[in-house]
Amino acid sequence: MKTVKLEELNEHSFQKAEIDKVIMAIGSTESHGAHLPFGCDSLVSYDIAHALASRLENTVVAPPLWFGMSGHYRHKPMCISLSDETLIRVIKEMLESVIHWGINKVMIINGHDGNIAAIEIAARQVKVEHPDFNLAVLDAWWITAGNLLPDDTFEVWNGMGHGGEGETSIGLAMFPALCDMSRARGMIPEMDSNVKLIWNFSELTDFGASGAPEKATVEKGQKMKDVLVDYIVDFVNRMDAQGWRYKIK
């Protein structure tokens, strides 16, 4: 039986598969309210990564990273966080390990907002040090899904929120047994659309979630997953065709 999970391959099967692309899923371990599991961000990013690898040629998905920079979400149990400096180093060394084995195409799927800055720094450093390395990042799937879906897909706040309508919906589609909708609660902060006010999550909600998780449905979650996977499969195929570089007109 064919597998696209790196941890299930061995020396022989890996070489036989002629792998030239690795997909990395990065998440966190933190509260997403009383209705979603602590590992939600990693579970979602890994599910997306696995779906991608299953539809792409010569591609594997690495085991997910279960920890991210989550200090701003530690007002509710349970949170295990890395510092930005540690996360940058971990991501950079993961990428350098892939480079060592002659693989020069990596797609990172990020599941947690707190990781965005660290991923950007690590990615830039690796790209400067290895100019021929090909690297792409989906740093905020929740934004991308909202951009790809019709405007009327979500009922509240465009589906946004930590453990909100969108994230809870995709959880229901991916790991329903770990979701408890009877405990879905959130609050919606009034945020400026142009200037970012730096916050700790306790300033935005009395719960471990924001947004309107009670509006989540399996159908919305499946739509989110489908548009994301379809789009990124097309993106990777386009990048393979054009050498993982921007077209210059």
| pLDDT tens sequence across 13-63 | 999 999 999 999 999 999 999 999 999 999 999 999 999 999 999 999 999
In this structure, are residues 218 and 169 in contact, taking their beta carbons and an 8 Å threshold? Answer: yes
pTM over 0.95: yes
Q: Where are the domains of the chain?
A: 6-241
Give CATH for domain 6-241: 3.40.50.10310
Whether 207 has a pLDDT exceeding 80, the answer reads: yes
Starting at the edge strand found earlier in the chain, the sheet holding 105-110 runs: 59-61, 21-26, 105-110, 134-138
Give the H/E segment covering residue 236: helix 218-241
Tens digit of pLDDT for each residue in 154-172? 999 999 999 999 999 999 9
Alpha-carbon distances, residue 186 vs 93, 156, 241 (angstroms) = 37, 11, 44
Identify the band that residue 1 occupies on the pLDDT scale cut at 50, 70 and 90: low
Q: Distance between CA 82 and CA 122 in Å, rounded?
A: 15
> Could you tell me which residues come within 8 angstroms of residue 9 by beta carbon, excluding any fewer than 6 positions away?
3, 17, 60
Identify the band that residue 2 occupies on the pLDDT scale cut at 50, 70 and 90: confident
Whether 77 has a pLDDT exceeding 80, the answer reads: yes
